[in-house]
């Protein structure tokens, strides 16, 4: 399928080699208008805002992924395979399982556990472990240290279900999984298959350990700035 695709109304060259990918289109717009110099809207199909501009002299793009593995699976696949994107950095929100992680702290997802079936398409004779690009992971950890951000590197849980009938988070927590979100495993699968690079950086928006800690909708869109700055430094 040549560019443009059914989901991205852009041409080859419209996207930079590195794309930041929040779930929320409004967070995409916020990042572009807050951090990028001369941002240009390169995609708005279904309201999924995609922009390309400059950050500290480097060309950078940002585009929303929507919610869930099927959605980020479509957008990241097309960016990797049809628009010559090399790096996708998910900048999302997550729920924390870890007592040491509080609101606005950061999880760098070295691996992504999942209850989803995305990797079944590859017909592998076993269980595939979706993991991040090591160099992006290393640099993100160094940048968090430089900025003085409280963070942890480890496994995250990419769930296909937001409202679970039977809550499974305690089981994942017992295995050392740091938190839960809904996209990273599919992104890591697509990067592996395309021979490209991916990383998920998530800001804690709520906690299963500290139930009174919860970000508002507006905070999710505009206040997770440390995560955004870490991701932009990797571009």
- Just list the catalytic residues: 206
Strand ranges (E), 68-214: 87-96, 106-114, 151-158, 179-181, 197-207
Rounded distance between C-alpha atoms, residue 77 and residue 86, angstroms: 11
Q: Which residues contact 87 (CB under 8 A, 6 or more apart)?
A: 17, 18, 19, 133, 136, 196, 197, 198, 199, 234, 235
Question: 119 with 202: CB under 8 angstroms?
Answer: no
Residue 135 in tokens = 């160099």
């Amino acid at each position: 399928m040549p560019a443009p695709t059914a989901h991205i109304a852009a041409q080859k060259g419209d996207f930079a080699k590195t794309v930041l990918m929040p779930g929320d289109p409004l967070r995409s717009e916020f990042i572009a208008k807050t951090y990028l110099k001369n941002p240009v809207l390169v995609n708005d199909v279904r309201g999924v805002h995609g922009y390309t501009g400059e950050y500290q002299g480097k060309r950078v793009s940002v585009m929303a992924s929507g919610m869930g593995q099927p959605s980020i699976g479509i957008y990241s696949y097309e960016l990797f395979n049809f628009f010559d994107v090399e790096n996708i950095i998910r900048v999302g929100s997550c729920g924390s399982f870890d007592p040491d992680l509080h609101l606005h702290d950061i999880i760098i997802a070295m691996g992504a556990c999942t209850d989803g079936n995305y990797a079944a398409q590859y017909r592998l004779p076993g269980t595939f472990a979706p993991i991040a690009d090591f160099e992006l992971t290393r640099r993100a950890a160094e940048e968090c240290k430089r900025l003085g951000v409280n963070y942890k590197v480890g496994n995250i849980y990419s769930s296909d279900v937001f409202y679970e009938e039977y809550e499974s988070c305690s089981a994942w927590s017992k295995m050392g999984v740091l938190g839960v979100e809904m996209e990273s495993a599919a992104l890591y699968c697509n990067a592996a298959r395309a021979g490209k690079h991916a990383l998920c950086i998530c800001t804690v928006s709520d906690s299963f350990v500290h139930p009174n800690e919860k970000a508002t909708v507006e905070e999710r869109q505009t206040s997770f700035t440390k995560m955004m700055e870490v991701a932009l430094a990797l571009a």
